[in-house]
Every structure is written in C-alpha cells, then in structure tokens.
Amino acid sequence: MRPGRILVDEASIATRLVEMGDEITADYEGKDLLLVAVLKGAFMVVADLARRIRLPIDIDFMGVSSYGVATQTSGVVRILKDLEQEISGRHVLIVEDIIDSGLTLDYLRRNLEVRQPASLEIATLLLKTGIQRVPIEVKYVGFEIPPDFVVGYGLDLVGKMRNLPYVAVMEEE
C-alpha cells in the first residue's frame, strides 16, 4: 500500500480551516473556550485550526487509541493520556482529525460529559459519510469524504505518513 490520489489538497485544507475558524470565533465570542485535541491524529489540524480562531483559547490533549495495527476499528477505546485540566463549567470543543465509525468520539463524548462542561461540541476535519455505527452530532465538519482509508495531515497507517501536508487515499502498489 502507498499514498495515492490526493483527496484534499493543502490549499483546500487551509481555506476550509479559515472558514471553520471564523465560525468558531463567532460562536464562542466572550466564552471560555478549551480545545481538546485527540492525539495523535488531530495534532496537525488543531495547530492550524487554533491559529484561525481569533479568541484567547486554551488547548489540552487527550490521547486515545481505537485502532491496533489494522485499518479497521475495534470499537475498544483506550485512554492513553487524560486531560491535564478540569473542564467543569468550561466550553469544550473536541478537535478530531476524522470520524469513521464514530465509536471513539461517542466514547470520548460520554467520558467528558460526566465532568460537566458548560458545553461540549465536536469539530472534525474529515467525516466519512454514512458509515457511523452510532449517531454522532458534529458541529463543525471540514470535509465529508467517501469511506476509504486515507492518510496524511495527521492521519497514519501503522504510525507512518502523518506528516504528508495533504490527505490522500491509500492504494495498492
């Protein structure tokens, strides 16, 4: 397998993140906003999205693992790193790279809701259309994409290819 056709190029990602940043800026004006990025995949999108939000935001990280070494979700979510901050009474926006089955975010949302944030919403760069195994409400979506396995811009295949500046579909050699 190798990265093949580019699905979302660098310029399109940059343009869309400006739009999402504008929306988030308008929605959270005057509020105490904490971005919660889901590691590792969301490290790149959160770095770029945060720079497009014109508010004094705070950022924290949550490390989760939902895939082993394969490209299929197991449904089992492990927390590898928890938040360092209290979120009770704060406006929390989870930042994800991609939503596939939705199982990771469903687990994360329930885990964070217990801590009683003032609000809890989700922003994702990519949403695979129509294959979620649980209903999931996503407030900010960058791009809806077909349910193919993709890499780049934070997304990996067995740990590699996260550093590609674009999102590409994997293809056979």
Which residues lie near ligand IMP (CB under 6 A)? 41, 66-67, 73, 96-104, 149-151, 155-156
> Measuring CA to CA, how many Å separate 52 from each of 107, 124, 159?
28, 15, 27
Q: Answer yes or no whether residue 142 interacts with Mg ion by CB under 5 A.
A: no
Residue 112's H or E segment, with its range, is helix 103-113
- Distance from C-alpha of 60 to C-alpha of 40, rounded to nearest angstrom: 13
Q: Which of residues 41-60 bind Mg ion (CB under 5 A)?
A: 41
Q: How far is the CB of 132 from ligand IMP (least distance, A)?
A: 7
Token pair recorded at residue 73: 């979700």
Catalytic residue among 9, 27, 58, 100: 100
* Stretch of residues binding Mg ion (CB under 5 A), selected from 8-16, 72-80, 89-97, 119-127: 89-97
Token pair recorded at residue 76: 């089992």
Query: Is residue 73 within 8 Å of residue 50, measured between CB atoms?
Result: no
Q: How far is the CB of 46 from Mg ion (least distance, A)?
A: 11
Q: Answer yes or no whether residue 154 interacts with Mg ion by CB under 5 A.
A: no
- 100 part of the active site: yes
Written as one letter, the residue type at 77 is: V
Q: Which residues bind Mg ion (CB under 5 A)?
A: 38, 41, 97
Question: Which residue numbers are catalytic?
Answer: 100
